[in-house]
Structure 1
Amino acid sequence: MPALPTPLADTLPLPAGPADIRLIVTDMDGTLLDDAKRIPGELWPALAELRRRGVLFSPASGRQYATLARQFARVAEGMVFIAENGTYVVRDGVELSSDPMDGSVAAELVRTVRRLAADGVDVGTVVCGKRAAYVERTDEAFLAEVRRYYVEHRIVADATAVEDDVIKVALFDFGSAERSTAPALAGFAGTHQVVVSGEHWVDVMNRTANKGAALRGLQRALGITPAQTMVFGDHLNDLEMLDAAHWSFAMANAHPEVVRRARHLAPSNNDNGVLRTISRVLGL
């Protein structure tokens, strides 16, 4: 069994007093995972110890529920998955909450991206349903990116006619999502959330849907307070989630706005920052 992470140096600023942590929520890409998209091997013994102490560990990601469930299959029992940027929350295969979009909005997003692509932007749409993700692009470069985050995906002739509860529409831009695709979606920002969730990804969801809303609902359901919650994030889709926890940590590699919003700073994702911070705060 691998050793638990080495504690951080005493210079890491942390809140004073004992830590009564009941819930730990972490983003995946750029946060728990390193840049090679690997789960740290030290996570598994740490999760066993957290479970023994009665601390719930919850991944919160833009990734699909099916993808998260597969990644954590060995420890999935009892774990809460905050999937699709908070639009779909599941525990032991049972939906705890969801926030489906109007199908007409999803269809208009697909048509908007088709026009962007026709104008020369190298972008593709992923229509995210509860059962699967649906794509029209069939080139291997795009599908390789889709497979990273959407284990259950289907190629369809017309993504405007998906028969599923659509909970999010994700756009993958091979260039800079923040500079090209996101501004082109400004017309949706008045009624929906348009969130840059990574260097190449933009997610569009209901205005009421985000990781923070999902986390607050989970806290209410479990009777856990923000003071008993620890959260880790690195990108703009993590901001509301950070607001829902007293123990909020931005990764050292985080977007500048995330660093400003979080109460504390953790080492980078490539320095095992999530587990090193948990180890120190909880004395693993």
Structure 2
Amino acid sequence: MTSATARPRTPDPSVPPRLIATDLDGTLLRDDKSVSERTIAALAAAETAGIEVFFVTGRPARWMNVVADHVHGHGLAICANGAAVVDLHGGPGAHRFTKVRGLAAPNALEVVELLRAAAPGTSFAVDRTGGVHHEPEYPPLRMDPAGSVAPAEKLLMADAACAEEPILKLLAHHPEMAPDAFLALAREAAGGRAEITRSSPTALLEISAPGVTKAGTLALCCAERGISPDEVVAFGDMPNDVEMLSWAGVSYAMGNAHPDVIAAASGRTVANNEDGVAVVIERILADRLSVEAG
């Protein structure tokens, strides 16, 4: 499902929420990448009230330390746009993968060839469970030094040094194209061979295996818990959140959200820097107390 076709579900006010699914960057986190005290308190209060909280992010597991102290109960997070489920209880550097939905190297190679032809100047990175590897032209990552630097075709070879590590995402960067134009072009060029989305303000695309999205992996985690979509409240701000917001029974676009996200969500809250997730959680808990009080 692409952002062009996703539509919000109609909320059922008679169904109380059992799970909160929230994106991180631009959503739960403030722009300085911090979690506010108000948000920390709201997350803890939700868990105390019996509402599970899942962090559902495009981030790799190795970037999850920012919220590792704020997981409760199950301790699980959905990372890499649904390509991995990670247990954060191990602490920094000890996160354990409990589910991996990887991108096959032949699929990744085919997408590389198609995007090189459709958008000359595109450079690539390969994000694996053990780290990121990228081409010489790819913008260096401040938070994530490359494990190796080589052409994508070499990084994806069966005999590459990192080949035994599953591929979570292929990343594609273009130095000149507008982000949404690059996304539309890539989706057309790939023709369904992969899931392509974006969460960066730059022309940086995130490419996963066919069928792998935040929504798909969240649905699997919810099914394991006997939780229906109607019992989920979701939050997001960028195109990689669209499917999840459309799937959840109740969903909120942040005040700073991309237009496609606003169209896909059933509601809207204030911006991430104004603690928009906490504002809604507080309201949910207040409504629950009101109902219980009769």
Q: TM-score, normalised by structure 1?
A: 0.80
1:237 is paired with a residue whose SS is helix
Partner of residue 133, structure 1: 132
Give deviations 1:27-74, integer Å, cap 9, x for gaps. 112211233333223222223222222222111111101212x11232
Q: 1:250 & 1:60 partners in 2: Cα distance?
A: 14
Q: Is the 8 A contact 1:110 1:160 kept in 2?
A: no
Candidates 134, 143, 156, aligned match of 2:149: 156
Give deviations 1:184-227, integer Å, cap 9, x for gaps. 56332332122133322211112210000011101101111222
Partner of residue 221, structure 2: 218
Q: 1:242 & 1:32 partners in 2: Cα distance?
A: 15
The offset of 1:261, in angstroms, is: 1.4
Partner of residue 248, structure 2: 245
Tell me whether 1:74 sits opposite 2:69 in the alignment.
yes
Give 5+ residue unaligned stretches, structure 1.
1-13
Q: Map 1:23-38 onto structure 2 (within 5 A).
A: 23-38=19-34
2:21 is paired with a residue whose SS is strand
Q: Is the 8 A contact 1:110 1:159 kept in 2?
A: no
Tell me whether 1:54 sits opposite 2:50 in the alignment.
yes
CA RMSD of aligned residues (A): 2.8
Q: Map 1:244-263 onto structure 2 (within 5 A).
A: 244-263=247-266
The change in CA–CA distance for 1:189 and 1:36 in structure 2 (over 3 A counts) is farther
Query: How many residue pairs were aligned?
Result: 261
Partner of residue 166, structure 1: 167
Q: 2:20 & 2:70 partners in 1: Cα distance?
A: 15
The offset of 1:165, in angstroms, is: 0.8
1:20 is paired with a residue whose SS is coil
The change in CA–CA distance for 1:182 and 1:137 in structure 2 (over 3 A counts) is farther
Q: 2:129 & 2:105 partners in 1: Cα distance?
A: 13
1:75 is paired with a residue whose SS is coil
Partner of residue 102, structure 1: 104
The change in CA–CA distance for 1:17 and 1:244 in structure 2 (over 3 A counts) is closer
Tell me whether 1:208 sits opposite 2:204 in the alignment.
no
Give 1:178's aligned amino acid.
D
Q: 2:262 & 2:186 partners in 1: Cα distance?
A: 26
Q: 2:184 & 2:265 partners in 1: Cα distance?
A: 24
Give 1:30's aligned amino acid.
G
The change in CA–CA distance for 1:228 and 1:190 in structure 2 (over 3 A counts) is closer
Give 1:71's aligned amino acid.
V
Partner of residue 92, structure 2: none
The change in CA–CA distance for 1:178 and 1:45 in structure 2 (over 3 A counts) is same
Give 5+ residue unaligned stretches, structure 2.
1-9, 90-94, 290-294
Give deviations 1:151-196, integer Å, cap 9, x for gaps. 5752333423341211211223454332246525633233212213
Q: 1:112 & 1:238 partners in 2: Cα distance?
A: 25
1:277 is paired with a residue whose SS is helix
Q: 1:42 & 1:131 partners in 2: Cα distance?
A: 33
